[in-house]
Amino acid sequence: MSFMVIEDRRGVTSMDKVIFWDFHGTLAYNDWMISKALYKVITKNEPNTNIGIEDFKKKPLMGFPWQDHEKEYLHLTAGNAWWKHAERIFIDCYKELNIIEEKAIEYAEQVREQLIKVDEFTLYEDTIEMLNYFKEKGYSNIILSNHIPELPRIVEELGLSTYLIDCISSANVGYEKPNAKIYEHALEKYNDPKDVWMVGDSVAADVKGPENAGIKGILVRSKEEEGIRYHSNDLLGLREIIK
């Protein structure tokens, strides 16, 4: 990865002004990401299938780490453990749609290839403009997101690494937002910056969780809620909040 890392004399990454950014739903989007991947795999293998994408959208797909953030997932950070865990969820989904187990296992192994495709992700129109704006203002931009292990590579191929110093994906850390330990990990990694913000579209993961860790949270691209101090409909409005 080409992310820049700044180190102080003690060899610890350090900076005074940091913005942690959520990724999905904040900087980029991939509508129905997992359902779409499951659907594309089955149509690739069974072009005449009667199973449609709506069938996958109706499935709850329970078991992903971010659905139970209170747990720790350190055991999923080594090798392909995260994907092996996810494949069990994919297998169950295919079986619920009456795919025989042998094929369900085969198809589940192919979902990863679909989920890491960069061209499935679309940047919001204001993403690069605002990342560059805050970079020029002296802020270090860092992605902190509940996502798949390959998120850093996806981010780089989307052309965002020029504006970032790091991309932290929960799948590579073992904790999911709003678990306090993922914020502690990020703050410790960058030597507890003095001026630190979190920007994202989730009240729990990007506002309340960060605030409990001493990070100012800004809710974006979501409906404003009572009790939220900082809110903007888009990223452009951040210029009036982070000064």
What distance in Å separates the CA atoms of residue 228 and residue 232, rounded to the nearest whole number? 11
Residues 51-55: contacts with CB within 8 Å, 24+ apart?
A: 51/97, 55/97
In this predicted structure, what is the pLDDT of residue 4? 52
Fold of the 17-30+123-240 domain: Rossmann fold (3.40.50)
In this predicted structure, what is the pLDDT of residue 77? 98
In this predicted structure, what is the pLDDT of residue 189? 94
The model scores a pTM over 0.75: yes
Angle, vertex CA 122, rays to CA 119 and CA 124, nearest 5: 160
Q: Of 9-13, 23-27, 77-81, which gets the smallest average pLDDT?
A: 9-13
CA quadruple 234, 158, 146, 65: dihedral sign: positive
In this predicted structure, what is the pLDDT of residue 2? 55
Q: Which position has the token pair 């779409």?
A: 36
Cis omega (within 30 of 0) for bond into 178:
yes
Query: Each residue of 154-169: pLDDT tens digit?
Result: 999 999 999 999 999 9
pLDDT band at 203; cut points 50, 70, 90: very high
Strand positions, DSSP E, the chain: 17-21, 28-29, 122-123, 140-145, 166-169, 195-200, 216-220, 230-232
In this predicted structure, what is the pLDDT of residue 15? 76
Domain ranges of the chain: 17-30+123-240, 33-119
pLDDT band at 170; cut points 50, 70, 90: very high
Residue 1 pLDDT greater than 80, yes or no: no
Q: Are strands 195-200 and 216-220 parallel, antiparallel or unpaired?
A: parallel
Residue 141 pLDDT greater than 90, yes or no: yes
Q: What percent of the chain has pLDDT over 90?
A: 92
Tokens of 80: 């392909």
Q: Mean of the per-residue pLDDT values for the chain?
A: 94
Residue 180 pLDDT greater than 80, yes or no: yes
Q: Are strands 122-123 and 140-145 parallel, antiparallel or unpaired?
A: unpaired
Q: Please, what's the b/e burial string for 220-242 (b: 16 or more CB within 10 A of its CB; e: otherwise)? A: bbbeeeeebebbbeebebbeeeb
Query: Each residue of 87-138: pLDDT tens digit?
Result: 999 999 999 999 999 999 999 999 999 999 999 999 999 999 999 999 999 9
What distance in Å separates the CA atoms of residue 229 and residue 210, rounded to the nearest whole number? 13
Helices then strands (H, E): number in the chain?
A: 9, 8
Query: Each residue of 37-83: pLDDT tens digit?
Result: 999 999 999 999 999 999 999 999 999 999 999 999 999 999 999 99
Tokens of 100: 């025989």
